[in-house]
Chains A and B, each alone.
Chain A
Amino acid sequence: MGDLMLGNEAIARGAYEAGVKVGTAYPGTPSTEIIENLSRYPGVYTEWAPNEKVALEVGIGSSIAGARTLVAMKHVGVNVAADPLLTLAYTGVSGGLVLITADDPGMHSSQNEQDNRGYARMAKLPILEPSDSQEAKDMVRLSLELSEEYDSPVLLRITTRLAHSQSIVETAEPSQVELKPYQKDAAKYVMLPVNARARHAKVEERRQKLEELAETIPINRIEWGDRRIGIITSGVVYQYAKEVLPDASYLKLGMTNPLPRRLIEEFVRGVETAYVIEELEPIIEESVRSWGLPVHGKDLMPRMGELSPEIIANRVLGETVSISHPAPAALPPRPPMMCPGCPHRGMFFELNRSKVVVSGDIGCYTLGASPPLSSMDTTICMGASIGAALGMEKARGKEFARKLVAVIGDSTFIHSGITPLVDVVYNGGTTTVIILDNRTTAMTGHQNHPGTGKRVSGETAPSLDLEALVRAIGIERVRVIDPLNVKETRQVLKEELAAEAPSVIISRRPCVLIDKTVRPPLAVDQEKCNGCTACIRTGCPGLELYEEKKVRINTQFCTSCTLCAQICPLDAIVEGGTANG
């Protein structure tokens, strides 16, 4: 009997079994658990890199030095790593290198739903797509073997429903894989134009060899069934289709770049009606159509969001969902929100109060965009807050900067906030940058980063000194505050907004989920409370309105952070709560 594993756990297991020596990543949903799991296996070096570009560059070095290497990131992380990736495609590898791209159709936890199969085509790289955890594990080994055989990095594309679904995996003993000898080879690894031109010719040769491989590789397979319906598909979508149409014929593509033209032609000619069922972009479909083959695809299937068994049943068979138990009413949504006791709440309460423009970034604090805090004007990508704030100031002038801040988390600042801060200083910006330093990478589940003093393994590391770093960049006004101290936060924010000089406020307090201090909940003095609801505007789940205009503490949630007590104009929120007071 095997064991139940998440797709991400299975990928880590596959890397361990295939002799991976180095695994690197920056956390990002839905990829994070790959390195977390890999770090628990013996004999594998793993790291959280400061960002995906660095993660891939460390991986490239490891591969050139002769080790089997795994690099993991979410789909948008590949954008950050695209620069080294597109040239790695030319240099090729020594030790096998697999890059896991964890795409997020449906945007469960992402800012876009780009289809990273597009990168495989652009970089002319092989890309594999597993459809369950067992395949995910097996395809890691296969990727590394193909990588070495074809002198190419290999992309392994997973999606949220593969990364975060569990299914049964058979494990094996790890293989002993020796380091390849290190050999200096400037023509292969020094991408001067003269060398790069020669390497591009190799890339083209490789592309043609891979096209031949695609015709015969066992992960591209035809499953003949009822020939009235033929389905070409890949990844977890294969499982959705099998659920709905278990008896149809299938061409299951484990490798979706390059595509096996002859195999596809044989399949399409062997069925009455062929469908390409793929999530997001019509990448397989457009190739198939370009060969003059008649298939259905995006004429029926949505080009946005996740697919599902329901959608396939509807678009292929015309079935509609039959609901026996409709929801009894229009129900209020339950959006994610900042946790009770979250230090970000103190800062966002003040930002809301001071009505400033907030150039935002990616992390838990993006929830500061939601009501009642409603204090974020932009969120684009990791690190964009600071450059965007500078751009706003340059477009609208220094006066605008007196009502403008950039907010960015500690992990995000280290990821890609440093260079735009250099730009602010260099080009005379006067904006205020707030580093929301909660001492962790919170959103993805509390991973360490260079500022936390610990590595992925938990071992002690030097801790990046944010104050010294921003001073070295040239910021003279550096303030450190506790965001749950309302008076201090209000005063410092006022002073730094007014200053016609670039400034950094380090808003420092550990994430409430890593601070293990247990404090008794607060209580509301019902004699004093006049129901003004000022406290409710913090949006804290630890506060409840009842009987029209009375407030009480929800003792299940209250962490005694005292933000509401400091805000209450009547001092009606006090220490020493027991029952619901």
Chain B
Amino acid sequence: MGKVVNVIIVGVGGQGTLLSSRVLAKAAMLNGFDVKMSEVHGMAQRGGSVVTQVRFGPKVYSPLIRMGEADVVLAFEKLEALRLMPYLAEGGRLIVNDLAINPLPVMIRAAKYPDQEAAAVKEQMKNSCFFNATAIAEGLGEPRAANLVLLGAMARYLDIPEPVWEEAIKATVPAKAQEVNLAAFKAGEKA
């Protein structure tokens, strides 16, 4: 029996983490794996931290990943990357959109954004990869497609073939947005 792969996708409400997670879950299913995925709806989506968890493998029980057991944390924002680091397994991979969105306590100067801590992780942590997915998406003319750029960047570390990803994107994304989302995914793979 193979191992279950654990992926955490985190971002700020409105960044499209849910769509990325759904594409990943769909791709894993199309590739023949059992899949479970836990989402967050409601209150938390109003600009709060949004965490989704995707697990796939021959047989998956829990929809929740245990702390210290994520193979990948894919973060759409730097502070959220730091927040979810404790979920990473030893040797787990941290993929980060090099973007800061100030949370409310920082906006009103009740707290400081952890710029230095993020920079230190970027420099020092093996298996970490920071890049500006938002800029890449803007380059494609659709800043909102940063979520698929990030997914593309993660795809190279997962054992799911390219055509399966494409099929999953086509099955998940509305028709009119498919072209730019496929382009974003491919741009992410090369990033």
Contact = CB atoms under 8 A, between A and B. Distances in A.
Given A30-B42, A333-B103, A337-B46, A327 B85 contact: yes
Given A327-B83, A337-B104, A541-B47, A308 B37 contact: no
B79 interface: yes
A329 B107 CA distance: 19
A364 interface: yes
A242 B62 contact: yes
A364 B40 CA distance: 16
A447 to B, nearest CB: 12
Contacts of B14: 339
Interface in A406-424: none
Interface string A288-308: 000000000000000000001
A29 B42 contact: yes
Interface in B73-117: 79-80, 82-83, 85-86, 88-92, 94, 102-114, 117
A545 B62 contact: no
Contacts of A32: 41
A277 B94 CA distance: 34
A481 B89 CA distance: 54
Given A322-B68, A324-B89, A545-B109, A108 B44 contact: yes
Contacts of A168: 29, 34-35
A334 B48 contact: yes
B154 to A, nearest CB: 17
B41 A161 contact: no
Given A4-B25, A243-B61, A371-B108, A335 B67 contact: no
A372 B106 CA distance: 12
B155 interface: no
A29 B45 CA distance: 12
A310 B61 contact: no
A444 B86 contact: no
B42 A109 contact: yes
Interface string A14-36: 00000000000000011011000
B42 to A, nearest CB: 3
B62 A29 contact: no
A317 interface: no
Nearest to B14: A339
A308 B64 contact: yes
Nearest to A164: B39
B40 A108 contact: yes
A335 B107 CA distance: 12
A334 B104 contact: yes
Interface string B20-31: 001001100100
A339 B38 CA distance: 24
A2 B134 CA distance: 34
A239 B88 contact: no
A331 B79 CA distance: 8
A443 interface: yes
Contacts, number: 180
Contacts of A337: 46-48, 104
Interface in A361-401: 364, 367, 370-372
Contact of A324 (B37, B64, B90): B90
A165 B103 contact: no
Which secondary structure dominates chain A's binding surface?
loop
B107 A539 contact: yes
A334 B103 contact: yes
Nearest to A321: B67
Interface residues of B, number: 61
Given A327-B85, A329-B114, A370 B67 contact: no
Contacts of B90: 324-325
A450 B61 CA distance: 41
A313 interface: yes
A445 interface: yes
Contacts of A372: 108
A518 interface: no
A246 B1 CA distance: 13
A421 to B, nearest CB: 26
Contacts of B60: 167
A109 to B, nearest CB: 3
A28 to B, nearest CB: 9
A193 interface: no
A165 B108 contact: no
Contact of B38 (A164, A335, A444): A164
B186 interface: no
B66 interface: yes
Contact of B49 (A325, A334, A445): A334
A339 B66 contact: no
A561 interface: no
Given A109-B41, A544-B102, 8 more contacts: A166-B39, A309-B64, A328-B120, A334-B47, A336-B44, A336-B46, A445-B41, A445-B42
Interface of B: 12-14, 22, 25-26, 29, 34-49, 60-64, 66-68, 79-80, 82-83, 85-86, 88-92, 94, 102-114, 117, 120-121, 125, 143
30 contacts: A108-B42, A161-B38, A161-B63, A164-B39, A164-B41, A165-B37, A165-B39, A239-B61, A243-B61, A308-B66, A309-B66, A323-B68, A324-B92, A325-B86, A326-B86, A328-B85, A328-B114, A328-B117, A332-B111, A333-B103, A334-B104, A335-B48, A336-B13, A337-B104, A339-B47, A364-B46, A371-B104, A443-B43, A539-B104, A541-B104
